[in-house]
Amino acid sequence: MAGSSRAATYVVCVLFVIVVVGIAYTYRDVRQFDPLHLRQTTPLVDLQIMAKSDRMQAVYVRAGNLYAIEERSVYISRDQGNTFEVLGYLPRPSSGFKALLKKWVAKNSYVRRLRKSPGPASLVVLNSGTVIVVSDQIYRKAPTDTDFSIVPSVGEFLPPFESGRTLGLGPDDTLYFGEYTKGPHPKKMRIFRGSNDGLSWGVAYQFPAGQIYHVHSIEWDQYRQRFWVSTGDADSESHIFYTADNFRTLELLGGGSQDWRAVSLLVQESRLVWGSDDGRNNSFVFEWDFTQKRLNGLAKIGNPASYIGALADGTLLVSTTYIPLTEYGKTGDAEPEAALWASRNGQKWQKVYTLPAAADLSGDKRPQFRLPGGDASLPHAYVTPLYTREHDFSVLKLGLVWK
C-alpha cells in the first residue's frame, strides 16, 4: 500500500509540474518574429523575406500598429512586427469550469503547435481606441478594459467574410458589416450597424431576396464621404454599391458580370481598385476612374483575387487564390499556388512572390495570401500564407524595393 501511495503521489506531482509549466508557457505575453534572409528578384522589384512568425495571421493595420489573431488570442505589434504583445482573448459564449478548461487548452502553446486555427479575421480599431472583432459573436475591448467581452443582445447573424476589410468604419466610429455565407442561397442578406463605441447593434439595411448571394466588403470613402459595398457571386449578384445616407438607400455603381465581383476594395482619391474574384475566366485588376467614369482593366492576374492592400510608399498589393473546383481552376491555365502581385503606381503590375499549394487541398482548403485591412501606415508587407507547401499559417514580413 505504501508503495502504491508513493507512486500516486509521484504521479500527482508530475502532473502538477506539467500543468504549472504549461500555464507558464501558455501565458507568454510577447511573441517575436524569427529573422529570415531570403530574396527574390523580378524585373520591377527586389523582394526580401525579412522575418516570420508562426501560428498567427495579420488582420489589421492602424497608425503604425499591426494586429494579428491566432484562434481566440488577439495580438498587437507596435514595432513593425518585430514583437507581438497579447492584447486580449476572445471569450466563448459559455461559462463555468468547462469553458475555462477549453480556454486554457486553446491558449496552451503545446496544443497550438499540434493544431492550426487562424481564428477570426474581421477586426477594426475605432477612433476611440476600442477594438471590435466580428465572428460567431461580436467582441469588444475598450482601452480601459482588461480583456475582450461579448456584446450582448445582438441577435443572430451570419458572420462576415474573413478579412480586415469587411468592417466599414466611418469618421464618427459608426461601423458596418454585411452577412456572408458559403451555404445554400439565403432569401435575404443584411448589413448590420454598430454605434455607441461598438455597444449598440442593429440592422441597417436588408437586400431584397435574390439580389445578392452575400456581402464581401464594406469600405469608407473619405474623399466622397460615402460607404462602398461589394457583393457576389453570380453575374447577377456581383455589384459595387454605395451609400451616402448611412444605408437608408443603396445606389449602384456597376455590376452584372464577374468584372464587378470584388472581394476587397481599395479606395483612392481618383479611383477604386480591386482584383476580380472571377471563377470562370482569367481574373484582372480593375479600377473605376472617377474622372473618366469608366471601368479599366489594368492587369491579367490569373487566379481569383480576394485580398488587397497598400504600403506607406504607395505600393499596392493584390493576392490571388487557387480554387481547384472552379471552372477556371480546372483549366491548365490555373497555377496551383498562392501569389502576391504588386504595383508602384497602380498601372503596371508584377507577380512578386508565390508559394506552391499544399499537397492536401481537400474540402475548402484554398492556397492564399491573406493581407491585413486598415490603413497604409506601414512600410513593409505582412502576408499570411494558408494551405501552402511552405510557411503555412504564419506571418511573413516582406520588404519590397522598386528598381
Give the pLDDT score at 34: 81
Q: How is domain 33-402 classified at the architecture level of CATH?
A: 7 Propeller (2.130)
- How high is the mean pLDDT of the chain? 89
Is the pLDDT at 277 greater than 70, yes or no? yes
User: What pLDDT band is residue 180 in, cutting at 50, 70 and 90?
Assistant: very high
Shortest CA distance to 90 belongs to which of 126, 128, 123? 123
Q: Secondary structure of the chain: what % helix, strand, coil (to 5)?
A: 10, 45, 45
Is the pLDDT at 13 greater than 60, yes or no? no
Is the pLDDT at 387 greater than 60, yes or no? yes
User: What pLDDT band is residue 97 in, cutting at 50, 70 and 90?
Assistant: low
Provide mean pLDDT across the span 267-283. Answer: 96
Give the pLDDT score at 332: 84
Give the pLDDT score at 54: 84
User: What pLDDT band is residue 153 in, cutting at 50, 70 and 90?
Assistant: confident
Alpha-carbon separation of residue 92 from 99, 100, 149 (angstroms): 7, 9, 9
DSSP string, 355-368: EEBPS---TT---E
Is the pLDDT at 14 greater than 60, yes or no? no
User: What pLDDT band is residue 23 in, cutting at 50, 70 and 90?
Assistant: very low
C-alpha to C-alpha distance for 109 and 77, rounded to whole angstroms: 19
Give the pLDDT score at 256: 96
Shortest CA distance to 399 belongs to which of 138, 5, 33? 33
- The one-letter code for the residue type at 59 is V
Give the pLDDT score at 39: 86
User: What pLDDT band is residue 7 in, cutting at 50, 70 and 90?
Assistant: low
Give the pLDDT score at 371: 98
Lowest mean pLDDT among 12-21, 222-231, 324-333: 12-21
Is the pLDDT at 109 greater than 80, yes or no? no
Domain residue ranges of the chain, discontinuous segments joined by +: 33-402
Give the pLDDT score at 379: 97
